[in-house]
């Protein structure tokens, strides 16, 4: 990736018909896995135009800019989708750049549905005994624009024995309702991998302790589920859900939850799929420019060593292509990743002998020939 590339804005009226994708590799292993995902996108033949952006820790440390002026408006105006790596760098202790870029995109572009599919591609990847791919095929829909992530709160009397820190959990009627409705619509419109219909929406909360926000989620869930009598509505407390997820993942179909619980349970769920290197996600607002990123972070301890698994990023690219209408290209990429796993053409975290680049190359070569 060319780290010197500057933010590009298009003149009004020069909008091309080709799908335009902004690519932001970010930090750490983001800079290793995203080039592999880009290689695979190109190999798929999807008619897209890719533009690199250098937003991330290096750029921030150079000029203190996290997001250039008008950056989010530019992404929304000039691009059809955004492909992101990860943000997080030990040199930026405050994590301010990650907050402003990643959470900035989610919040300021109003990407309210964080769609995190949980699919076991091959039984060998799952740490649970006797679990097959058909047993792990669910999706977590995480509210992505509010909750404890809004940064509401503050610190009072800092550094004194009387210090007080508050971190507010913001739940709006609009925010809760739209993610719950998204979950029911998702359930209605998507099938499982074996072609069978999805049937159950499970709302996960902690309403036994967090009673104010919990009550809102409970009431809205009851109300919206009434509009979908053909689907089953279920509820589980988040602590119990964690236990069930590792005891019997078969029972899950569509899970809808708040921002923070969604963050935590999707790392747990990534464990069922072969680890963080395998998990893909999309940050969606229907009809608006949406952003796609692997679930993992910048993994500083393995960064720069050609060790990172690129499949989460490659599967994320497939998710993005499907979102843009390139469903056959997306299906070919997914099938090739599965083939790579079966043939052990993978990185070490999932048992293969390859490096990041070699695993990406193997998939890209196969995809270009398929
Ligand atoms: P992490 O996801 O970076 O790493 C967790 C563990 O998973 C580590 O052991 C890592 O080596 C392993 N791992 C992650 N991705 C992998 C891959 N592709 N292949 C093989 N192994 C992989 O989470 P962390 O260590 O908690 O956080 C590191 C930094 O990343 C922090 O700064 C954090 O804030 C940031 N982060 C960013 C994002 C994001 O940008 N979306 C997501 C999570 C964490
Ligand atoms: C994720 C990450 C982010 C989150 C961090 C980096 C703020 O963990 O995308 O899952 O908590 O949403
Ligand atoms: Mn996370």
* CA of residue 297 to ligand 3 center, whole Å: 7
345 is an active site residue: no
194 is catalytic: no
Concerning whether 39 is annotated as a catalytic residue, the answer is no
User: How many domains are there within the chain?
Assistant: 1
- Which of 90, 95, 102, 279 best tests ligand 2's pocket when mutated (most atoms within 8 Å of CB)? 102
290-294 and 280-284 as β-strands: parallel, antiparallel, unpaired?
Answer: antiparallel
Looking at residue 89, which CATH number applies to its domain? Answer: 3.40.718.10
Does 263 qualify as catalytic in the annotation?
Answer: yes
Q: Rounded CA gap, 315 and 321, in Å? A: 10
186 lies in some domain: no
Number of other CB atoms surrounding residue 58 within 10 Å: 16
Q: State whether the beta carbon of 140 lies less than 6 angstroms from ligand 2.
A: no
Answer whether residue 102 is part of any domain. Answer: yes
Contact (CB, 8 A) for 272 and 118: yes
- DSSP collapsed to 3 states, 10-73: CCCCCCCCCEEEEEEEECCCHHHHHHHHHHHHHHHCCCEEEEECCCCHHHHHHHCCCCCCCHHH
Judged by DSSP in three states, 189 sits in helix
Give CA–CA dist 179/142, Å, rounded. 8
Q: Please name the residues in contact with 161: beta carbons below 8 A apart, sequence gap of 6 or more.
A: none
Evaluate whether residue 120 is within a structural domain. no
Q: Which ligand has the minimum distance to the alpha carbon of residue 293? A: 1
- Domain for residue 179, yes or no? no
- pLDDT at 13 (0 to 100): 40
Residue 327 lies in a domain: yes
Q: What CA–CA distance (Å, rounded) separates 283 from 326?
A: 18
Whether residue 172 is contained in a domain is answered as: no
In a domain, 259, yes or no: no
Domain range for residue 37? 1-6+16-114+287-370
Classify residue 169: in a domain, yes or no: no
Query: Are the beta carbons of 225 and 164 closer than 8 angstroms?
Result: no
**Structure-block tokens of residue 191:** 């099938």
From first to last of the 370 residues of the chain, give the pLDDT tens digit.
333 333 333 334 444 479 999 999 999 999 999 999 999 999 999 999 999 999 999 999 999 999 999 999 999 999 999 999 999 999 999 999 999 999 999 999 999 999 999 999 999 999 999 999 999 999 999 999 999 999 999 999 999 999 999 999 999 999 999 999 999 999 999 999 999 999 999 999 999 999 999 999 999 999 999 999 999 999 999 999 999 999 999 999 999 999 999 999 999 999 999 999 999 999 999 999 999 999 999 999 999 999 999 999 999 999 999 999 999 999 999 999 999 999 999 999 999 999 999 999 999 999 999 8
DSSP string, 83-116: EEEE---TT-TT-HHHIIIIIHHHHHTT--EEEE
Which residues touch 298 (CB under 8 Å, ≥6 apart)?
Answer: 26, 27, 28, 29, 30, 85, 86, 87, 88, 89
How far, in Å, from the CA of 259 to the mean position of ligand 3?
10
- Burial of 362 from C-beta contacts in 10 A (0-12 / 13-18 / 19+): buried
CA-to-CA dists, residue 328 to 106, 183, 322, angstroms: 28, 25, 8
pLDDT at 180: 99
**Of ligand 1's atoms, which has the minimum distance to the CA of residue 302?**
11
Q: The tokens 């994320």 sit on which residue?
A: 316
């Amino acid at each position: 990736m060319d780290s010197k590339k500057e933010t590009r804005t298009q003149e009004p009226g020069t909008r091309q018909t080709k799908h335009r994708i902004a690519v932001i590799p970010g930090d750490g292993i983001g800079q290793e896995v995203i080039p592999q995902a880009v290689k695979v996108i190109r190999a798929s033949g999807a008619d897209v135009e890719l533009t690199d952006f250098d937003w991330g820790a290096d750029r921030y440390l150079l000029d203190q800019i996290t997001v250039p002026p008008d950056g989010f408006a530019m992404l929304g105006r000039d691009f059809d989708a955004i492909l992101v790596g990860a943000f997080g760098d030990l040199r930026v202790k405050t994590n301010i750049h990650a907050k402003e870029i990643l959470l900035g995109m989610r919040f300021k572009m109003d990407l309210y549905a964080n769609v995190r599919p949980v699919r076991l591609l091959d039984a060998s990847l799952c740490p649970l005994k006797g679990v097959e791919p058909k047993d792990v095929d669910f999706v977590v829909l995480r509210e992505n624009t509010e909750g404890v992530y809004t940064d509401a709160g503050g610190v009072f009397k800092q550094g004194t024995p009387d210090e007080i820190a508050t971190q507010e959990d913001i739940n709006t009627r609009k925010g809760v309702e739209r993610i719950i409705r998204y979950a029911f619509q998702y359930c209605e419109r998507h099938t499982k991998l074996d072609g069978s219909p999805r049937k159950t929406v499970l709302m996960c909360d902690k309403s036994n302790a967090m009673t104010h926000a919990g009550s809102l989620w409970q009431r809205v869930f009851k109300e919206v589920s009434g509009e979908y009598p053909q689907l089953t509505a279920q509820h589980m407390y988040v602590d119990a859900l964690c236990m069930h997820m590792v005891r019997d993942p078969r029972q899950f179909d569509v899970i809808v939850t708040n921002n923070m619980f969604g963050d935590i349970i999707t790392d747990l769920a990534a464990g069922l799929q072969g680890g963080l290197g395998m998990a893909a996600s999309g940050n969606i607002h229907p009809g608006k420019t949406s952003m796609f990123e692997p679930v993992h972070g910048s993994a500083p301890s393995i960064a720069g060593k050609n060790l990172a698994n690129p499949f989460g990023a490659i599967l994320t690219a497939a998710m993005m292509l499907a979102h843009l209408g390139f469903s056959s290209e997306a299906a070919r990429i997914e099938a090739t990743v599965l083939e790579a796993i079966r043939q052990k053409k993978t990185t070490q975290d999932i048992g293969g002998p390859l490096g990041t680049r070699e695993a990406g190359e193997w998939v890209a070569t196969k995809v270009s020939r398929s």
